């Protein structure tokens, strides 16, 4: 399933001269795509990377706005307001992601209805429409059919904010878990379980968002999540901010859907990338023959 459109920007956008992209389908519903774009509008060559559903999450639900008509902003305004804050955050030695995410959710909630660029792929229960990419911020809208699911995945070197615009969505959020005293993993330092290695995640939040409600995730809080569309489906606005383009990405984990330790809501998982296996196998065959 292809999740993200080939079109990085509107074809009339003069800032983008060319875009190279590669993609990897991690699982139905979760695709990692890397893009390298050559942008001249800002006078610099910028390496870009975007990933899929990114979605994002957290358990605190940002409030609904009762005066949206007075506060409504266009996409251009949202980018203009958030991008400077995003740039300051990613260049800081001590970035305050929580403050930024709170601001991002607030601005997403005010956003006027986005024009449809190009939803796709046709026929998929989960469709994306790429709206904006101005480093280090990107914005998508996702339309999910009733009860469709974007399975659990992480958000490495990225934080994000998601806002429900139509319908409802259940967001379950998780983090890597270690017993007291253990210190094997360090997400920010890239010290993560190896592929094929079983590890633990702990469910931290489980919320149902309705129209004009949003949540956020940071690189170290609620970094894994699963997004489940409600009985009427949903339209989501999803904003991502990238810290390290070279490493940023989204990786799904295989999970049986159960808490093996219900009291602590612990789950046993492994990185799940079936297509990687196929690709590696195919590459090995090619290398050998
Ligand atoms: Fe996500």
For ion ligand 1, residues whose CB falls within 5 Å = 53-55
Minimum mean pLDDT range among 68-77, 155-164, 219-228: 68-77
Model-level pTM? 0.75
CB 173 within 8 A of CB 124: no
Q: What is the pLDDT of residue 16?
A: 31
* 53-288 maps to CATH 2.60.120.10: yes
What distance in Å separates the CA atoms of residue 142 and residue 30, rounded to the nearest whole number? 12
Instruction: Name residues whose C-beta falls within 8 Å of residue 272's C-beta, 6 or more positions apart in sequence.
Output: 26, 27, 252, 253, 254
Q: What is the pLDDT of residue 245?
A: 82
Nearest alpha-carbon partner for 54 in 271, 168, 255, 225? 225
Distance 252 CA to ligand 1 centre (A): 9
Q: What is the pLDDT of residue 244?
A: 86
Distance 39 CA to ligand 1 centre (A): 27
pLDDT tens figures, 18-64: 333 445 343 444 554 544 333 323 322 222 333 433 333 334 555 55
The CB density around residue 234, as the number of other CB atoms within 10 Å, is: 25
pLDDT tens figures, 184-240: 999 999 999 999 999 999 999 999 999 999 999 999 999 999 999 999 999 999 999
């Amino acid at each position: 399933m292809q999740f993200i459109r080939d079109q990085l920007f509107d074809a009339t956008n003069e800032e983008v001269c060319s875009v190279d992209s590669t993609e990897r389908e991690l699982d139905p519903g979760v695709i990692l795509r890397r893009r390298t774009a050559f942008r001249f509008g800002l006078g610099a060559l910028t390496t870009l990377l975007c990933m899929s559903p990114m979605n994002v999450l957290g358990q605190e639900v940002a409030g609904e706005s009762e005066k949206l008509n007075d506060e409504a902003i266009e996409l251009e305004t949202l980018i203009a307001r958030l991008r400077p804050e995003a740039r300051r955050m990613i260049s800081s030695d001590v970035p305050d992601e929580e403050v930024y995410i709170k601001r991002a959710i607030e601005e997403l909630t005010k956003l006027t209805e986005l024009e449809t660029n190009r939803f796709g792929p046709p026929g998929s229960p989960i469709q994306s429409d790429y709206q904006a990419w101005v480093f280090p911020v990107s914005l998508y809208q996702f339309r999910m059919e009733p009860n469709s699911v974007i399975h659990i995945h992480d958000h490495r070197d990225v934080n994000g904010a998601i806002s429900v615009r139509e319908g409802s969505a259940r967001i379950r959020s998780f983090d890597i878990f270690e017993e007291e005293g253990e210190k094997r993993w360090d997400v920010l330092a890239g010290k993560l379980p190896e592929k094929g290695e079983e590890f633990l995640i702990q469910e931290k939040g489980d919320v149902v968002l309705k129209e004009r409600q949003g949540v956020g995730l940071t690189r170290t809080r609620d970094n894994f999540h699963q997004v489940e569309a409600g009985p009427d489906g949903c339209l989501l606005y999803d904003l991502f901010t990238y810290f390290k383009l070279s490493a940023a990405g989204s990786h799904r984990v295989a999970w049986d859907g159960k808490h093996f330790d219900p009291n602590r809501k612990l789950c046993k998982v492994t990185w799940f990338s079936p297509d990687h296996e196929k690709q590696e196998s195919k590459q090995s065959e090619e290398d050998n023959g």
